[in-house]
Amino acid sequence: MADPTARSPASGGAGRAEPAGRRDAPGRARKARTSFAAALSLALGACAALATVTVVLAPLALVLGLVALGLGLVGVSRSRAPAVTGRGVAVVGAVLGGVAGLVAAAVITGLFAALSDPGLVDTIDGYLRDLGAQLPTEMPRP
């Protein structure tokens, strides 16, 4: 006699019983859900792009961009599952993270190259001293 909890491969169970909360009503398709890795990739890619724009946060943007790229690749592979969507979200997140990471790496490299030149540092220091000399010493009273 057959086990009543066993599911046939034709019913999608591959011989295993599903947890009670995951059963669908007969004839109803399961709702597709977006891959968490894909959504997180898009969010981190956007954060990396914004952090790249502020030159000060370029090292953080590099790390966030690499993490977004990795999560985007994971999201693309997970979106091949039957009930998982988000392939486009994962691709956009991976591309955004990759581009932000590359730009952040270029910004960091440029900053190190510029700040290692003593002549440029002296020029910047001179500009800052000139600007400081132009500031008023007293605040005007209304």
For residue 63, the tally of other CB atoms under 10 A from its CB is 14
Going from N- to C-terminal start, the domains of the chain cover: 32-129
Across residues 37-54, what is the average pLDDT?
95
| The predicted structure's pLDDT at residue 27 | 61
Query: Among 79, 91, 93, 78, which Cα is nearest to 42's?
Result: 93
Which pTM does this prediction carry? 0.65
- The answer to whether residue 51 scores a pLDDT higher than 80 is yes
Segment 123-133, tens digit of pLDDT = 988 999 999 88
